[in-house]
Every structure is written in C-alpha cells, then in structure tokens.
Amino acid sequence: MASDRDLYAVLGVERGATDAEIKRAFRRLAQQWHPDVNQDPAAQARFKEINEAYQILSDPQRRQQYDRFGRAGLGGEGGAGFEGFSGFGDIFDAFFGGAAAGSRRGRPQAGPDLRYDLRISFEEAVRGVEKEIEFTVLGRCDVCNGSGAAPGSDSSTCPECSGRGEVQSVRQTMLGQMVNVSTCPRCRGDGRIIEKPCERCKGDGRTEVRRKLVVSVPPGIDEGHQIRLSNEGEVGPRGGPAGSLYVAVHVAEHATLRREGTELIHEADISIAQAALGTRLTVPTIDGNEELEIKPGTQPGTEIRLRGKGVPHLRRAGARGDLHVFVNVAVPTKLSKRQRELLEELARETGENVSTNGRGGIREKLGLG
C-alpha cells in the first residue's frame, strides 16, 4: 500500500528542491533504508516509500502533476476511465533498474510493476472465479519490436562509454585520486545509440496498448490479497523486460453472511415461542439455502455449526472452514392486546411477577399503580 505522506517530506527536502537535491536525498535515504543493509523490519516499507517518492519527484511531468493536484494528480495516469489503476503502481524493482543502481548499467531497464484493483462478489471469492480484465499499459512497440530503432536502421555501441552505460571521471584532490562513476549522458545508460529512432514510439521502444487478460482467482481468496502476474506489467524502455502486474482483490460484502478467514458466520433471529417450542430455520449458505432444525428450549447465543460449509483453504486443497449459525432470541418490543394477554397468562401460569399494562408490578402491588 502506498502511504499518503507528503512526497517531499518522505525525502526530507523542501518543495522547491532542485533535481540534484532530490537525487542526493534519495541516494542517502536509499543507502540507509535498503532492505539488504537495514535489518529493521520496517525498512522494506520505508524503502518502498522513499523509492516511490523519488520515482515521482524525479520525473518533471509527474512532479508537476503532484505539485498541482497532490496524489490525485497521479491517479489517472494509467488511462482515463480505468478504475483503480494507479499508473505507476507498486514499483518494487525500480531501485535496481533505476538510475541509482550500479550493477545494471548497460542493460535494458525493467519496466515498473503495475496494480489493478479487481472487485469480485462474496460468492466468487469463496468459489473462485475467472475474470477478464482489460487495461491500458505500455507494451513493446510492434513497429520496432521494442528496440526503439526504426526498421532497417540499426543501433550502435555508444562511443562515449563503449557500451558500458557509465562513464568515469578521475579528479585529483588533496586526498588523492577520486573516481566518480555516473550514468553515461549520451546513451542514458543503455550502452547503445539508436541511429534513427522508430517513428511510432519515438525511440522509446514502447507504446500504449490495450490488453485483455483472464485472471484466475483461486477459491478462498480474501479482501486485500494480491495475485501476481509476472511479465504482465509495463515493459522497460528499449527492450527492457516487463514488470509484474499485481491484481489486488476486493471482495463485496454479503447481505447475511460474514466472513472471518475460512469461517462463515450467520446470525439468525428467532422468537421466544420458536426458541421454547423449536422450529425450522432457513439459513443461507454459499451453496444455497439450507434447512436447520432448532430444538425446543434453544437458548439465546446458541451456536450451530455446519461443518465444511465455510470457505475453502487457499493453500490446503480440499479443506474448508465451517458455517457458524448464531441463534439470537428476539424479544418483541411491540405487543398487540391479544399477545399481551397471552404473555400475561403465561406469566401467571409460571408465577412470575410482570408489569401489566405497561405499569410496574411492584408499584401495583403496593397500591401505587
């Protein structure tokens, strides 16, 4: 989950910070919070937050949108009319593929992960379902096949960095030689120069495509679970591999069933007479309504358990939770004259002291009524 913190606050910079200041802050924080070096359990989330803030603030267009509209300005990036698609999604790998990484220079940068919010019904979550989803994504340009080079033209090794994607500069200082390694400005770290950019994608290797996918939602999935579809995220520029698509599942509520993990809960109201005399109840289950016998003398709060009528375990095939029916004895709040007479007669029969005609029995006995 992306946090709602102010992105500038996340990086600890002023709103008017320069690109260089933002980059410096990011590098410092990334080194401090990278989960490989920081054992703090919170490091991963913190690192992700830092990374996300940097991805947005280092992109002039996104930064401008954020400055003007806040997070709402970023929400619609993935394509108009596409609910819940965050556009940049959860970017887990960007640090490794991004400008700050040293190990991947000269190799194509991977595309970011994306997130799709999928809404399903209560029953679909229990039974499992196949859902077709459709969304707009940056996919490989089919004119240049992702290379970014116009068909027939070629790309050549970058003369500036000899294909390494990074350049070294050596400075003499008082303390000795200082070697500074930075991304090659000529090829932007790709290691190759495109002679004639593809006209369709302007040399980026990517174009927006409309994609349809069938997502297989397993039985037992619950609110907030994510399904990862690798290679279905955005592709990287100029032939970079695709990120993952994370399908975040949202489950609708049921009118009369509540769910806790693999257990289903139903609360049924019965009357005093039904509790005392017994009755038959119709209870909802995932597989349709079921008749349930309520024994005479059933107490309020009685639990009746329908074994195996709950939710399938996600990881244990064949195993299923139970349906718990809690019986609530509803006490009438309004009585007809006849109902009152019958209840008063019942009370007389059992020798109970009750209020009559809405007045207190004790007051009546004391002659105050």
Q: How far is the CB of 130 from Zn ion (least distance, A)?
A: 33
235 lies in the binding site for Zn ion (CB under 5 A) = no
Out of 50, 114, 120, 187, point to the residue binding Zn ion (CB under 5 A).
Answer: 187
The bridge status of strand 323-330 relative to strand 263-271 is parallel
Q: How far is the CB of 107 from Zn ion (least distance, A)?
A: 13
104 touches Zn ion (CB under 5 A): no
d(CA 173, CA 187): 29
Exposed/middle/buried for residue 311 (C-beta within 10 Å: 0-12, 13-18, 19+): buried
The residue behind tokens 């209020």 is 355
**Could you say whether residue 188 binds Zn ion (CB under 5 A)?**
no
Smaller CB separation from Zn ion, 158 or 245: 158
Using the rule CB under 5 A, is 138 a contact of Zn ion?
A: no
Residue 180 Cβ, how far from Zn ion at the closest point, in Å?
16
Q: Check binding of 306 to Zn ion (CB under 5 A).
A: no
The DSSP code for 101 is -
Q: Which of 221, 234, 208 is nearest to 90 (CA)?
A: 234
Question: What are phi and psi for residue 288, nearest 5 degrees?
Answer: 110, 175
**Residue 161 in the binding site for Zn ion (CB under 5 A):** yes
Report d(CA 50, CA 28) in Å as an integer: 10
264 binds Zn ion per the rule CB under 5 A: no
The one-character DSSP state at 242 is B
In sequence order, the β-bridge partners of residue 328 are: 269
Q: How far is the CB of 109 from Zn ion (least distance, A)?
A: 14
Interaction between residue 201 and Zn ion (CB under 5 A): yes
Size of the site for Zn ion (CB under 5 A): 12
User: Least Å distance between CB 108 and Zn ion?
Assistant: 14
Q: Which residues bind Zn ion (CB under 5 A)?
A: 141, 143-144, 158, 160-161, 184, 186-187, 198, 200-201
